[in-house]
Amino acid sequence: QGLKPIVSTESPALIFGTTSKLSSDLPATDSFLGKNKVPDLQKLFQKADGLPVHLKRGVPDKLLYRTTMALTIGGTIYCLVALYMASQPRNQ
């Protein structure tokens, strides 16, 4: 006899019928993806020129790095000043 399956083995009826576009009607993916830049970037980042990876792309990387360092140092100084001011008793 065996057990009856709880889940039906038949495929369910289609809800939407058919798709609106066939895969042959879709445009080719090469037309909008552009050129693959990964091999060029791999050559750039693997070049042995003594620069760290985060500075290899030139001026924009240097600007971003220096801005980040300035904000980090400024934030640290601000936190230390705020901590010093909070540790001082207030005069009444």
58 part of a folded domain: yes
The domain of 82 spans 50-91
Q: Which of 3-12, 23-32, 53-62 has the highest mean pLDDT?
A: 53-62
Rounded to an integer, the average pLDDT of 71-92 is 94
The residue written with tokens 């057990």 in the block is 3
Structure tokens at 57: 């792309």
Domain count, the chain: 1
Residue 44: count other Cβ atoms within 10 Å of its Cβ. 14
CATH number for 78: 4.10.91.10
pTM of the model: 0.53
**Separation of alpha carbons 20 and 9, rounded Å:** 28
Structure confidence at residue 29 as a pLDDT band (50, 70, 90): low
